[in-house]
Structure 1
Amino acid sequence: MSWRRVESQGISILNGILGDYLVESGNPLAIDMGFYHQSRLLEPDHLTPLIDQYSQGDGVAPLERCPVKLVVLLHGLTNDETIWDFPLRETMDQPASITDQSTSEFGRDNYGLRLARDARYIPLYLRYNTGLKIMDNAHRFSALMTQFVNASPVEVDEIVCIGFSMGGLLLRYAQLLEHESTQNWLHKVSRVFYLGSPHSGAPLEKLGHIAGKVLGVVPRSYVNIWADWVNIRSQGIKDLRHGVNFGPDQDEYLPFNDAVRHFFISGAVSSEKNRFANQMVGDALVRVDSARPANAPALSEYAHFDATHHLALAHSDRVYEQILKWCQNQL
């Protein structure tokens, strides 16, 4: 692992914990949202050479490849786009391909590259400040998607979105915003995948909220001073307490966009389906009943993977095979 990658991941962790404060204080360590390719920021006008890169080998000029398909991958809290990368040892036996040759930095292999190889999707990896309010990030993401779709040198026929953990919640809000927008890229989205996303909230953040409240009312300064430390959590982390519940009593659910198909994937820490730990903690951070929301549309699809903890959902061979299968099925 290069030091550049370690630095990038360290900054992402810092932004997850204190990202809102970094923005408010004008700190240069605050992450600006953008699409990245091989750890480099992509501008909208870079989409043309990116299409060229993934089209080479087809024997067809890029501008003749109309339409094109995009897969957009959104990481989770304190992550960056490298959370999608499989460990290097797991990529050694993969056959060489155009996408392998053009994206060989750090020996990377991930869902985006595999979908490029197996289904001809062009991958875009989002990097964003996970310490900001999820709704704020949804506004930024919607604007960024509009920029890139408008900048495509050929028609974008289909968009598939894959959100891991917080990334899935960001997609929920972004769909709601775009559904009400005049600049709508959403009509190009065919499928949205939610991998370990806490739609009804994450238990650890709920516990942190309770701990901060309890410590804050204890009438001893040397005890309730710890409430200040507990409550330092960023607004992005605090948003995870309720997931996409909203309203005055946090008992209303954000509606799903019925124009696209929704796919939900959950994990569990144990290989035993009915083990008590699986029921209580799910994949260690998100419970199964939160990853599979009760108000999902009727035509939604679900998949569950035992012995697959939260982070592993972002780079699992079994999970990828399920994603590919769903992508290849006709809607």
Structure 2
Amino acid sequence: MGSDAEIRAVGRLVGDALAGAVGLVRDTHRAIADRAFTAAGPAAQPVRAVHGIIASGVYATVLGAHALLPRVIGVAVGHGWRPEKAPLSGHQAGRLTLAVVNGIWGDTLSGRHPDLATPMAVRSRHEDVPLTTDALRAAFPTASPRIALFVHGLCETEEYWSLAAERHHGTERTTLGSRLRRDLAYTPVYLRYNTGLHVSDNGLRLAALLEELLAHWPVAVEQITLIGHSMGGLVIRSAGQQGAAAGHRWVPAVRHVAFLGTPHLGAPLARGVHTTAWLLARLPESRPIARLLSERSAGVHDLNYGALLEEDWRDVDPDTLPRDNCTDVPFLPHANHYFIGATLTRQRDSPLATVLGDLVVPYRSAAGSGNRRHLPFSSDNGRHLGGLHHFDLLNHPEVHDQLCAWLAEPKSTTLADDQP
């Protein structure tokens, strides 16, 4: 993506956001004024008409200025941006910001601001890796027959797998990927994708990507391990179901699947936002705010109850109260499945743990243990970690140790560390 195209796209996005904010104020103002003039009766109708004309003119002017000015600035800056400068995605702050924007409005970006929409891709050294044998060999010169694919969560990038590496591991900067490479001869492969799209859409894309990865990997693939954090685990499960239905060759190559803080049964925070939007839509004065909340991405909507397939959301009215209509998706038959869930409290069954979970996902959702749906994890394939939050699961020594213990098999040649 060119840097000038990104800058212009940011200008358009900021313009849309400011226009939306002005529209929110306008609609709220209009709803409050309508209620006041209605209560005042017929005598207030002439004033109401004049007020409407003046207010409409003011808001039209302000709306146009807020929508146009950032676009003009974006175009001007984009044309003046020197080609030797890195694009927004060439800076860590820019990449992390784009990840959040994609997570919240990713489905909208794909249609209206495609220059800012994140394509699904294998990543190495902050760049996309084309799925050709030559490109993969260049990106992974010590590729082994074992692939560990890392799939991040909502509003994240592949760089999140390195969170707190120095704090947890000192100067070694150990990550889960480098541990698997060092101890179990895996080649860590990091994925980036637009987390604002439906989980089912990303699952379909991941299934196709894995088929290409298997076909062009520089050496013959013996086994694949899939590791997902948060939403990434849902995308993995969706990909497994769709890949199996399509008869993909990568599916029987999967030997292990690990879920780290994955909301298999949904996330209360997502349902809370949905319910709040529904309640605000009941009153004209708060309806504009409800519309704003309802503009969250399809991916966020899917987190209500962990929707994996198109049929889980296709016929559901997004403006109704959330209900668990999600399909039970079986585990891949030839793979071992594991989960790790965290709670802020040391005890997983305490009342506070039930309410807070890991700040994002309750332990029972991470364990797939619900009243209507229950995931068939083996008793030895689950782990609770107390005193940790949701993002600790990306790169914590206890997570490393547990996954290495689960995945341990006779090792082949030990290879050098590989950081995302």
Fold conserved between structures, TM > 0.5: yes
Q: Tell me what 1:167 maps to.
A: 232
Aligned residues: 302
Where do residues 250-261 of structure 1 align in structure 2 (5 Å cutoff)? 250=325, 252-261=327-336
Where do residues 30-179 of structure 1 align in structure 2 (5 Å cutoff)? 30-45=117-132, 46-52=135-141, 54=142, 68-87=145-164, 88-94=166-172, 109-179=174-244
Q: 1:324 to 1:132 in 2, by over 3 A?
A: same
Q: Tell me what 2:93 maps to.
A: 6
State the TM-score, normalizing by the size of structure 2.
0.68
Instruction: Show CA shifts across 1:113-143 (max 9, x none).
Output: 2211111101110000000001001111111
Q: Is the contact made by 2:338 and 2:377 (CA closer than 8 Å) also made in structure 1?
A: no
Q: Tell me what 2:300 maps to.
A: 237
Q: Tell me what 1:303 maps to.
A: 383
Structure whose CA Rg is larger: 2
Overall identity of the aligned pairs, in %: 30
Q: In structure 1, how many angstroms separate the alpha carbons of the residues matched to 2:408 and 2:402?
A: 10
Q: Is the contact made by 1:244 and 1:254 (CA closer than 8 Å) also made in structure 2?
A: no
2:108 match: secondary structure? helix
Q: Is the contact made by 1:9 and 1:79 (CA closer than 8 Å) also made in structure 2?
A: yes
2:91 match: secondary structure? helix
Q: In structure 2, how many angstroms separate the alpha carbons of the residues matched to 1:155 and 1:120?
A: 14
Output the amino acid matched with 2:270.
E
Q: Which has the higher helix share?
A: 2
Which of 164-173 and 142-151 deviates more? 142-151
Output the amino acid matched with 1:47.
L
Output the amino acid matched with 2:208.
A
Q: Is the contact made by 1:191 and 1:261 (CA closer than 8 Å) also made in structure 2?
A: yes
1:44 match: secondary structure? coil
Which of 72-81 and 23-32 deviates more? 23-32
Q: Tell me what 2:31 maps to.
A: none
Q: In structure 2, how many angstroms separate the alpha carbons of the residues matched to 1:38 and 1:292?
A: 33
Of residues 251, 269, 294 in structure 2, which corresponds to 1:204?
269
Instruction: Give the CA deviation at 1:272.
Output: 3.9
Output the amino acid matched with 1:243.
G
Whether 1:322 aligns to 2:383 is no
Q: In structure 2, how many angstroms separate the alpha carbons of the residues matched to 1:187 and 1:176?
A: 12
Q: Is the contact made by 1:280 and 1:287 (CA closer than 8 Å) also made in structure 2?
A: yes
Q: Tell me what 2:282 maps to.
A: 217
Q: Which runs of 4+ in 1 moved over 4 A?
A: none
Q: In structure 1, how many angstroms separate the alpha carbons of the residues matched to 2:300 and 2:353?
A: 23
Q: 1:251 to 1:133 in 2, by over 3 A?
A: closer
Instruction: Show CA shifts across 1:197-245 (max 9, x none).
Output: 0011100111111111111122xx3222110111111000000001147
Q: Tell me what 1:102 maps to.
A: none
Instruction: Give the CA deviation at 1:292.
Output: 0.7
Q: Tell me what 2:61 maps to.
A: none
Q: Is the contact made by 1:244 and 1:253 (CA closer than 8 Å) also made in structure 2?
A: no
Q: In structure 2, how many angstroms separate the alpha carbons of the residues matched to 1:86 and 1:209?
A: 30
Q: Is the contact made by 2:347 and 2:386 (CA closer than 8 Å) also made in structure 1?
A: yes
Q: Is the contact made by 2:152 and 2:192 (CA closer than 8 Å) also made in structure 1?
A: yes
Of residues 313, 316, 328 in structure 1, which corresponds to 2:393?
313
Instruction: Show CA shifts across 1:47-98 (max 9, x none).
Output: 223442x36xxxxxxxxx6xx100000000000001110423444343xxxx
Which of 22-31 and 166-175 deviates more? 22-31
Q: In structure 2, how many angstroms separate the alpha carbons of the residues matched to 1:89 and 1:275?
A: 29
Q: Is the contact made by 2:305 and 2:326 (CA closer than 8 Å) also made in structure 1?
A: no
Q: In structure 2, how many angstroms separate the alpha carbons of the residues matched to 1:217 and 1:254?
A: 35
Of residues 270, 273, 280 in structure 1, which corresponds to 2:345?
270
Q: In structure 2, how many angstroms separate the alpha carbons of the residues matched to 1:112 and 1:168?
A: 16
Q: Tell me what 1:286 maps to.
A: 361
2:195 match: secondary structure? coil
Output the amino acid matched with 2:267.
A
Structure 2 gaps of 5+ residues are 1-88, 316-323, 411-420
Q: In structure 1, how many angstroms separate the alpha carbons of the residues matched to 2:255 and 2:225?
A: 6
Output the amino acid matched with 1:308.
L
Q: Tell me what 1:228 maps to.
A: 291
Instruction: Give the CA deviation at 1:152.
Output: 1.6
Q: Tell me what 2:7 maps to.
A: none
Output the amino acid matched with 1:78.
C
Q: Which has the higher strand share?
A: 1
Q: Is the contact made by 2:155 and 2:195 (CA closer than 8 Å) also made in structure 1?
A: yes
